[in-house]
Amino acid sequence: MEEHLSTPRNNELWDAAGEAVRNGRAYMADVEAKLVDAEQRIALMDRSGIATTIVSLTSPGVQGVSDSRQAVELARESNDAARRDFVDAYPGRLEFFAAVALQDPQAAADELERAVRELGAKGALVNGYTNIGDQDTGRYLDHPDNAPFWTKVAELDVPVYLHPREPLPSQRRLYEGYESLVGSAWGFGHETATHAVRLMLSGLFDARPDLKIILGHLGEGLPFLLPRLEHRLYKQREGIGLGAAQRRVSEYFNDNFLVTTSGHFHTRSLDNTISAIGVDRVMFSVDYPYESMNEAVDWFTTCPLSNNDRAKIGGDNAKRLFGL
């Protein structure tokens, strides 16, 4: 369910030259061709035994558009294209997560409602912080201005997939001289794990205890890191820096989060994730076309899991979550 698409309009907006430098030009050329090709996607799903995929606009997508009006338009166009060119072209095989323009939280709420009720979207996928006005101003999902969006998410009772994006340009000093670390290799996880912790500490889940957030990449490191965070926040510092949170971060992680295997095909990490959040909250994903369906499926079908757990992670958990 962390499987990406693009549209001609999105391609126009995003010159992937920077990414090509960091990821390799041949790799990015291959990815870009696959992002817009539903037919090849279905052929690869058939070959690797994947029945259904939930697609979403690739990062940064709508979140990276500085101009609010343009962002609202891109969200609407992308959702229409996802329905028309992917879902309707392969009914039952492809579903989609809506893109939402959080530059205008009320417009994001309205578009989410339209996407879910009229187009059949399975939830929203948000690519990290949202640019407001320029490329170096970002608003994270815990900001109070996003209240209309969260109200609508709760009303529709759909999950929000929090997908990574690169850190703000002014906040990359840590990676200077090591540009390959800015994106998916390292910076994505760091950025997204911190974003998720912001949500936990903001009090959002105390106000709306039924919200469901999906994280990719086996939880962006949180299964391993949360115990340390909790220890320092709650035990040694006696509550300093807890923000508005009423509960322990591990409780929010267990009650409000689900994770996918996207792009992290490693058995020891999977074991750690299951031990932190429980097998009922882990779902198979590839992160196509940035990752290979075959590689993901080869790992998943041979890693040491009980048949019951493999069935849950491989589909039953998602069927329950999305009513598929």
Q: How many residues does the chain have?
A: 324
Q: DSSP labels for 34-63?
A: HHT-HHHHHHHHHHHT---EEEEEPSSGGG
Spatial CA neighbour of 89 closest among 133, 36, 143: 36
Taking the complex as a whole, how short is the minimal distance between the CB of residue 163 and Zn ion, in angstroms?
A: 6
Site string for Zn ion, 278-307 (x = CB under 5 A): ---------x--------------------
Q: Of all residues in this chain, which one has the CB nearest to Zn ion in the complex?
A: 287
By CB under 5 A, residue 2 contacts Zn ion? yes
Given a contact cutoff of 8 angstroms between Cβ atoms, the answer to whether 135 and 171 are in contact is: no
Of 4 and 212, nearer to Zn ion (C-beta) is 4
Taking the complex as a whole, how short is the minimal distance between the CB of residue 286 and Zn ion, in angstroms?
A: 9
Q: 264-294: string of b/e by CB count within 10 Å (b at 16+)?
A: bbeeebbebbbebbebebbbbbbbbbbbebe
Of 62 and 107, nearer to Zn ion (C-beta) is 62
By CB under 5 A, residue 111 contacts Zn ion? no
Of 220 and 287, nearer to Zn ion (C-beta) is 287
- Dihedral angle of Cα 198, 199, 204, 210, to the nearest 10 degrees: -160
Of 146 and 260, nearer to Zn ion (C-beta) is 260
Helix axes 222-230, 249-256, angle to 10 degrees: 150
Q: Which of 37, 110, 287, 316 is catalytic?
A: 287
Return phi, psi of residue 46, to 5°.
Answer: -60, -45
Taking the complex as a whole, how short is the minimal distance between the CB of residue 251 and Zn ion, in angstroms?
A: 27
User: Number of helices (H) and strands (E), helices first, in the chain?
Assistant: 16, 10
Site string for Zn ion, 70-89 (x = CB under 5 A): --------------------
- Residue 217: DSSP 8-state: H
Site string for Zn ion, 233-272 (x = CB under 5 A): ----------------------------------------
Taking the complex as a whole, how short is the minimal distance between the CB of residue 263 and Zn ion, in angstroms?
A: 7
Taking the complex as a whole, how short is the minimal distance between the CB of residue 190 and Zn ion, in angstroms?
A: 15
Given a contact cutoff of 8 angstroms between Cβ atoms, the answer to whether 216 and 263 are in contact is: yes
Q: Residue 219 CA to chain centroid, in angstroms? A: 10
Of 2 and 166, nearer to Zn ion (C-beta) is 2
By CB under 5 A, residue 191 contacts Zn ion? no
Catalytic residue at 287? yes
Residues in touch with Zn ion (CB under 5 A): 2, 287
- Catalytic amino acids? 287
